[in-house]
Structure 1
Amino acid sequence: MAALGTIDLELEAEEYEFRADEGDHTPTDAEKALLIDFGAGLMHAVHDAIRPLMASAPTAPKSDLAMLLARQMVWSRETFGPAPRTKGIIQHITKELREIEADPHDLIEWVDVIILAMDGFHRHGGKPQDLPRLLKEKQLKNTRRRWPDWRKVAEDQPIEHTREGDDDARAAA
């Protein structure tokens, strides 16, 4: 059976009817053979043409978050261009943080900050498929750090991990 991928060329040729004349014409065996050969040749040509493109294509994102970032990357580059835009993104995040300060219950403003952070992530070399892993690694790193007792820190002050004995502190020294 001449099948390529999910297309069964013999079945397609068997069911094909020429419509050039007044009535339907079921193809002869010779016409069926020509249809099968033509279809197989066409399918192989298409496959050969896209094989190099598929080989060089980036790995498809595997998570919903990675797929969201991949879509955001395409839209952002088309809308804002390919430059890193570091200062512009930081200024925009700062503006959004002021809006959050004015109304911390406006969840869309928090989402704006997340989207802007993802934009900065991809513009500085981050790949969509790496973001979920990096988030997990950073979260794990934070859970292993030592933190001061939150009850001893004013609510309007940041709570930062203690630096003593920290791998980051030793690396910075």
Structure 2
Amino acid sequence: MIDVRHTVVGSPVGPLTLVATDGVLSGLYMDRQMYLPAASTFGEPDPSCLPDVRAELAAYFAGELTAFTVPLAPRGTPFQQTCWTALLEVRFGETATYGELAARIGRPTAARAVGMANGRNPISIIIPCHRLIGSDGSPTGYGGGIERKLALLAHEGATSTTTLLLF
């Protein structure tokens, strides 16, 4: 039987719902997020679940952490999984375009599909979908809202008009 639990933590970008599946982070959702799953899928409330995730998020927002190390268990299609894995390579303070990420995964004409996969990312912030920007450097699209994307990029010292892709 699969054990699913969740907790809600505060953050500078609003409340974050953390979902654990068998003790591993499987979801990190913002309120009013696009493609937000039904709350009934988050399992039982458990304020003590995912202590390592809560600690790393607190350190990230305090400016003390630039790379997350917690185990992740996002669920998605093979293409989505490939995109999300590639997103993990866009480091703190850097940005990449959707087209650059598409090229990185060997699908140079799939920028729109990368954007769709990015929008379905179930573990925002830690799988850093906020670090993808438009080809013109604009902060296009973000499931948590453009204001949050800009806030996360500013927190990391990245600018939405600079592309720094170091693969």
Give the alignment's TM-score, normalised by structure 1: 0.27
- Higher helix proportion (structure 1 or 2): 1
| Structure whose CA Rg is larger | 1
Q: Please identify which structure carries the higher strand content.
A: 2
TM-score by length of 2: 0.28
- Structure with the bigger RCO (C-alpha within 8 Å, sep 6+) is 2
